[in-house]
C-alpha cells in the first residue's frame, strides 16, 4: 500500500465519520423536540331540556407520560371559550388558602382568580409523573342553565419543565344546544 492509498482511505474514513456524526446530531435534535406525553379530556353530560333545571358536565383532564423519563412540574391550563355559559367547579384551592389543601388528588390554582375563563392548575404534592403514569384533574364540573341556545368549549394545554410552551390536549369539550319552548295551545 502506498501513501496515496492511505490518504484516500483516511479521507474516506473522515467522510464516513462526518456523515455518522451529522446523523447523530440530527437524532439528538429530534430527541430534544420529541413529545413524550399527551393529555386529553374524558367527560359525561347531563343536559336539561328546561330553563329551570341546571345542566352539567362531569369531566377529567389527564396527562399521560408515554416517554422513558419522568415529567417534572406538570401544570394544566383549562380555558373556557369566550361567552361560554359555563361555571367550572373542581378540587382546587387558591394559593395561601386556609382551607385544607391535602385532599386526595387536589390541585392548586396558580392564575388570577378574577378571570373565570382561565384555570392554571398544578397538582398538590406531586411534581413528577413517572414513565407510564397518568395524573388527572378529576371530576371537575361545568354547570349552566340552558337558555334558548347556548354554546361553549373547554380546551386544555399541559406544561412541563421540558415543554414550557405547552402541548395542547388531544381533544376538547364542546357543548352546544338549542332549547325549544313549546307554545301553549289555546283551547276554544
Cell numbers standing for residue 169: 390536549
- Residue 100 pLDDT exceeds 50: yes
How confident is residue 31, by pLDDT bands cut at 50, 70 and 90? Answer: low
How confident is residue 39, by pLDDT bands cut at 50, 70 and 90? Answer: very high
- Residue 97 pLDDT exceeds 80: no
Please give the average per-residue pLDDT across 143-151, as a whole number: 85
Question: Which has the closest alpha carbon to 57: 48, 70, 67?
Answer: 48
Per DSSP bridges, beta strands 107-109 and 92-93 are parallel
- Residue 52 pLDDT exceeds 80: yes
3-class DSSP assignment, residue 149:
strand
- Residue 9 pLDDT exceeds 80: no
Contact present, 43 and 59 (Cβ < 8 Å): yes
Least confident of 79-83, 143-147, 163-167, 180-184: 180-184
Q: Which of 83-87, 98-102, 157-161 has the highest mean pLDDT?
A: 157-161
* pLDDT score recorded for residue 29: 64
Please give the average per-residue pLDDT across 36-54, as a whole number: 89
* pLDDT score recorded for residue 143: 93
How confident is residue 34, by pLDDT bands cut at 50, 70 and 90? Answer: low
Please enumerate, as own/partner, the contacts of 94-103 that have beta carbons within 8 Å and a separation of 24 or more.
none
Question: Which has the closest alpha carbon to 78: 119, 45, 122, 28?
Answer: 119
Contact present, 110 and 122 (Cβ < 8 Å): yes
Pairwise CA distance, residues 89 & 73, whole Å: 23
Q: Between these two residues, 112 and 173, which has the higher pLDDT value?
A: 173
* pLDDT score recorded for residue 186: 46
Cα within 13 Å of Cα(27), Cβ side = 6
Pairwise CA distance, residues 32 & 48, whole Å: 48
How confident is residue 49, by pLDDT bands cut at 50, 70 and 90? Answer: confident
Amino acid at each position: 500500500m502506498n501513501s496515496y492509498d492511505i490518504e484516500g482511505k483516511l479521507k474516506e474514513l473522515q467522510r464516513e465519520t462526518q456523515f455518522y456524526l451529522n446523523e447523530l446530531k440530527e437524532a439528538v435534535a429530534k430527541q430534544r423536540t420529541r413529545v413524550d406525553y399527551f393529555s386529553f379530556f374524558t367527560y359525561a353530560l347531563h343536559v336539561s331540556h328546561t330553563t329551570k333545571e341546571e345542566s352539567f358536565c362531569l369531566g377529567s383532564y389527564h396527562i399521560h407520560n408515554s416517554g422513558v423519563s419522568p415529567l417534572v412540574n406538570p401544570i394544566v391550563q383549562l380555558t373556557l371559550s369566550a361567552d361560554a355559559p359555563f361555571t367550572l367547579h373542581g378540587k382546587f384551592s387558591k394559593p395561601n388558602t386556609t382551607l385544607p389543601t391535602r385532599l386526595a388528588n387536589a390541585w392548586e390554582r396558580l392564575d388570577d382568580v378574577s378571570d373565570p375563563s382561565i384555570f392554571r392548575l398544578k397538582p398538590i404534592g406531586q411534581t413528577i409523573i413517572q414513565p407510564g403514569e397518568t395524573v388527572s384533574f378529576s371530576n371537575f364540573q361545568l354547570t349552566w342553565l340552558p337558555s334558548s341556545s347556548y354554546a361553549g368549549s373547554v380546551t386544555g394545554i399541559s406544561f412541563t419543565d421540558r415543554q414550557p410552551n405547552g402541548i395542547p390536549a388531544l381533544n376538547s369539550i364542546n357543548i352546544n344546544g338549542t332549547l325549544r319552548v313549546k307554545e301553549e295551545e289555546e283551547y276554544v
